[in-house]
Structures are given as structure tokens and as C-alpha cells.
Amino acid sequence: DRLLSLTPTACRAVMVPQLAAIWPGLVEMAKTGGMEAVAETTVQRWFTDDFKTANPDVLDSVRAQIVGTDPNGYFGCVAAFMSLNFRDRIGHINTPTLFISGAEDQRGGPPDVMQELADTVHGARHVSVPDAAHICNIQNPQCYNEIIGEFLRAQTTG
């Protein structure tokens, strides 16, 4: 009753083994080398090759954000990811919900996972942002903003 709508983007409801396997190594890298040690590998996972080649300035900005992250916050976030499991509660959502994925996201919240989540929530929809991987709001901001803007306008006028 307190939310007008939800727009989960590029996410999951449960941690899966293939993703859980990457986090201990990243945590160890961050503990020994600071956030600088995980910045490059993270950026490489989040965007498509074409985007990375064409947008070095955007990648520099994202790297700087990662490097500026407090390591303790990063470790806490990873701990939350590792225990992620609320799939059994997704069906209880009764707020208008739009699940958004990057069409080329392979791990974080790929289209098939996001569609499965949308199928679990009564009346929810799923939309994939074309030409975008995991960080779809940065890789294709115009399309992402149009999708989310249309959805939010429908909630306030519908």
C-alpha cells in the first residue's frame, strides 16, 4: 500500500551457484588490492564489447565509481548477494511491476530470468532494453528512460 509501483532492473530473486562462485575471488581481490583491484573485471562483465570499445569515457566514469566505493559497503553487498533468496515471496507482490533487463545481460539479470520473475507477479510485465548488457540504464539510457518513463506515467495517470 505504500508503493505506487516497482521497477526491478537487471536482478535476480535467488543466488545461483555459477554467480556465487565468482564472489569469493572478487572479495579476496578487494581485500588485498582495494577496490582498484576489482574495478576492471567488474566493468568488463557489465557491458558489451561494442559498448566498451565505443565508450571509454563512460567506462572510466564507472571505474571511478567502483574505486570510490567503500570496501566495507562492497563486502556487505556481496554478503547480501550470497544469501539472496526471496523467490518464494515474489508472488506476493501486488504493486504494478515492470521488470527490466538488458537484452544482452548474460549473468546478473538476463532476460529469461527477468521474464520468469514477471510471470510470477500478477499483472507484471518484462521489457528488455536492446543493445545493453547488465548496466542497461548506462549502456542504453535513452531507451531505458523511455521504458521506465512510460511505465511510471501510466501509474500516475491510469
How many residues are listed for the chain in this entry?
Answer: 158
Contact 133, 105 (CB under 8 A): yes
Instruction: Note the pLDDT of residue 149.
Output: 97
Mean pLDDT of 66-76: 98
Which one, of 90, 107, 105, 115, lies nearest residue 15 by Cα? 107
Smallest CA-to-CA distance from 127 within 4, 3, 7, 5 is with: 7
Other CB atoms within 10 Å distance of the CB of residue 127: 21
Whether the CA torsion 94, 84, 17, 73 is positive or negative: it is positive
Predicted confidence band of residue 35 (pLDDT cuts 50, 70, 90): very high
Q: Beta strand pairing status for 125-129 and 98-102?
A: parallel
Taking each helix axis from N to C end, the angle separating 71-82 and 23-33, rounded to the nearest 10 degrees, works out to 170
Please state the pTM of the whole predicted model. Answer: 0.94
pLDDT above 90: residue 88: yes
